[in-house]
Chains A and B, each alone.
Chain A
Amino acid sequence: MSKIIIRELRKSYGQVQALKGIGFSIEEAESFGLLGPNGAGKTTTVEIIEGLRKQDEGEVLIDSHPVESGLEDELKQKMGVQLQEAHFPDKLKVWELLDLYRSYYRRALPVKELLKLVGLEEKAGSYIEKLSGGQRRRLSLAVALVNDPELVFLDEPTTGLDPQARRRLWDLIREMKAQGRTVLLTTHYIEEAEALCDRVGIIDLGELIALDTPDSLIKNSGLESAVELSYDGLLDLELLRTLKGVRALKDQDEQRIRVEIVDVNRFLRELFKRFDNVTIERLERPNLEDVFLALTGKELRE
């Protein structure tokens, strides 16, 4: 049974149609990503589900119960939310904040455990104002986990972080998923969606334009991969051209050639059966970015 079901969500801000009828469902213990550029409608969608905004039309069901804006206490008890760029009180210490937020819930994880989960044990006694950007984001994850929630909402959890801090957070989010929580996250980082999500919904201009696992999205996109080969002696170009899935051959430097193909795995198997004088120098696979470009005709990061 689906954990969250969303049907035909519509929302306008004045003349601007932010959501033009979005629908999808998220399974129990699934990690679901909403991918799209800024202003696509990701945050609006998530905040409607969180009960922070009210949709104009459509419905949201969590555990089969319809959600109106302003969630019921029961639901709040089992969900954890990380808002996009929320600031916590500067003048509280890390442990004090967690201790305070714990008190809001019937069931909560111990402060120590929360700090350990996000790797902030050493910062327990620090004022929040002294934390770095990455540490603040980890704290906001700890806050989202305070009540040991079944359902976790993460709105652009790593935006603005350096790559190292981002990797750390990814490990954390994988850990959350491994614990059996249902995770809904929004992102405009392709790699993030690929790394973290079981399924990805691509959203643009308030519409859901694709929804599948990252691999299927790529495979079904019909986009080409490319292999760069170097070779000893001579290469039988005619034979190479007849291999399955090959679309084009491009001479590069001496002893080097670029092959554009549709199905990489099959091509490589055949390649090594027929040739013993080739070495793979480079392999380019399409990623979600290319899928996004193909679907919308624009770059994800403007």
Chain B
Amino acid sequence: MTLRVFIKQLIADLKRHFRNRIAVFWEFLFPIVMMALFALAFGGEQGGVSLKLGLVDLAHSELSGAMVEAFQQVPIFKLAENQDEENLQAKLRAGKLDGLVIIPQSFQAGLSHGGAQIKLLIYGGSNPQVREILISAVQQLITGFNEHLRRPPIVLVQETVASGVKTQEEISYVDFVLPGILATAILATALMSGAIGLAVERENRLLKYLQTTPLRPLVFFSARAGQQFIVTVLQAVLLVGLSILFLGAKVQGSYLVLALLFTVGVLSFIMMGFAIAAFSKSHEAANGLANILYMPMVFASGAFFPIGTMPSWLQPLMKALPLRFFLDGFRDIAIRGAGLAQIATDLWVLALWGVICLLVTVRFFRWAEE
């Protein structure tokens, strides 16, 4: 019985939503156009790749000197040399270098009996495309050397160094901006449509009428949340799908973890929309309140520009907004391949926001104007 009502209510809510062309424009077409524009405007920068590479020669032999020279001649390498190893390692961990090549002391000795190694440390936080280019460029260089040597080949040993600090400069702009645009689309659904829709229905006395029917509030709100969730899933599939197909966006981590983050995040934003409706006496008030939360979240939570570029006094405030946790989590999974453990904090914070907003809704929501 209850399930049947829920499904009917859900279908009716979905029909109403998709028949509203303005909402569909803002929630689907607009983000796709934005994504394409951003990719066009900033995507070009990815053309000229340069790799920041540290180089340490500890062997100081003839051959190692020749290798250093060879590295110097590769145009895409921006080399950092003549610094001690420790210093360069620190820079690598801070993400200021994409990679660090070390020619060890044992290099010369190893040459004769086939144990010559070159170490390549790779910064784990940089764009995977950058990492791939780096590895293949270094490998090519060594393969070239091996072909000229009549000795056992030099072996390249790779090691990925976990990123201590996240830096966002190295990430492709498409990958960076995708979660931001997706978030604006989701918020348009959950905050704007959600909150304003409820406020309008209250003003129209539709909610008041429903109070005279046996429809249970829980069923009403579940159906509404379900409708919004389905809309946001479609938004995500469309936006992420198109970005992967046409703009070269990549998701490194597990789609399952991404889906979990998405679900928790979206539900929390939907609850936030309900809470806004609970606090607003009119749809104008709901619109205003939704905008007050939406604007700073979108423009200052690092949706389009890294938080690091904001004025320092603003940063702590921006970091507390829930959108930021969604974006951080999303980027960690999509760009850096983070797993469940790494995004646990983001999940918990989002869930906490959702629960708080739900409690606010239960406590303050009114079905009719007094």
Contacts and interface: CB of A to CB of B under 8 A. Distances in A.
A159 B5 CA distance: 33
A51 B368 CA distance: 12
Interface stretch (B71-79, B207-215, B238-246): B207-215
Interface residues of A, number: 29
A74 to B, nearest CB: 9
Interface in A68-107: 71, 73, 76-77, 79, 81, 83-92, 96-97, 99-101, 103-105
A92 B206 CA distance: 13
Interface of B: 4-5, 8-9, 12, 15-16, 19-20, 201, 204-206, 208-209, 211-215, 368
B8 A100 contact: yes
A85 B211 CA distance: 15
A52 interface: yes
Nearest to B197: A89
A104 B215 contact: yes
Given A52-B368, A86-B205, A81 B215 contact: no
Contact of B16 (A71, A92, A99, A101): A92
Contacts of A99: 8
A103 B8 contact: yes
Nearest to B204: A87
24 contacts: A51-B211, A52-B368, A71-B212, A76-B213, A76-B214, A77-B214, A79-B212, A81-B209, A81-B212, A83-B212, A86-B208, A88-B206, A89-B12, A91-B16, A96-B12, A96-B15, A97-B12, A100-B8, A103-B4, A103-B8, A104-B213, A104-B214, A127-B19, A143-B209
A50 interface: yes
A185 to B, nearest CB: 15
Contacts of B368: 52
Contacts of A50: 212
The B contact surface, by secondary structure, is helix
Contacts of A96: 12, 15
B214 A100 contact: no
Nearest to B205: A86
A186 to B, nearest CB: 15
Nearest to A93: B15
Contact of B212 (A51, A84, A85, A87): A51
B207 to A, nearest CB: 10
A83 B8 contact: no
Nearest to B23: A91
Contacts of A76: 212-214
A77 B208 CA distance: 16
Interface in A21-77: 50-52, 71, 73, 76-77
Contact of B209 (A73, A83, A91): A83
Interface of A: 50-52, 71, 73, 76-77, 79, 81, 83-92, 96-97, 99-101, 103-105, 127, 143
The 3 A-B pairs with the shortest beta carbon distances in the complex, nearest first, are A87-B204, A91-B19, A81-B212
Contacts of A91: 15-16, 19-20
B206 A52 contact: no
Given A52-B208, A83-B212, A87-B204, 19 more contacts: A50-B212, A52-B368, A77-B214, A81-B212, A83-B205, A86-B208, A86-B209, A88-B206, A89-B201, A89-B206, A91-B16, A92-B15, A96-B12, A100-B9, A101-B213, A103-B4, A104-B213, A127-B19, A143-B209
A103 B5 contact: yes
A100 B209 CA distance: 13
A75 to B, nearest CB: 9
B8 A87 contact: no
B65 to A, nearest CB: 75
Contacts of B204: 86-87
A125 to B, nearest CB: 13
Nearest to B7: A103
Nearest to A90: B16
B14 to A, nearest CB: 11
A88 B201 CA distance: 9
Which of B4, B5, B9, B211: most chain A CB closer than 10 A?
A: B211
Given A87-B206, A100-B9, A104-B5, A52 B20 contact: no
Contacts of A127: 19
B246 to A, nearest CB: 32
